[in-house]
Structure 1
Amino acid sequence: MPSIILAPIKILDVSGEVTFGDVLQITPKSTSKSNSGASGGSTGDFCANFSLISLTNTLDPDLNDSSNQGNN
Structure 2
Amino acid sequence: MPAFVGVVQVISVGSSGIVNIGDVFQMSPYSTAKTFSGAGSFNTGDGLKIYNEYSATNVQDPDGIDSGVILNA
TM-score (norm: length of structure 1): 0.51
Bigger relative contact order, structure 1 or 2, given CA contacts below 8 A and separation 6+?
1
Structure (1/2) with the larger helix percentage: 1
Within-5 A mapping of 1:1-72: 14-15=13-14, 16-19=17-20, 23-42=24-43, 46=45, 48=48, 50-52=50-52, 53-72=54-73
Please tell me the root mean square deviation across aligned C-alpha atoms, in Å. 3.2
Please, which runs of 5 or more residues in structure 2 have no aligned partner?
A: 1-10
Unaligned runs of at least 5 residues, structure 1: 1-11
Q: Which entry has the higher C-alpha Rg, 1 or 2?
A: 2
* Paired residues of 1:38 and 1:51 also in contact (CA < 8 A): no
Poorly superposed stretches of 4+, deviation over 4 Å: 20-24
Percent identity between the two aligned chains: 39
User: TM-score, structure 2 length as denominator?
Assistant: 0.51
| Equivalent residue pairs, number | 59
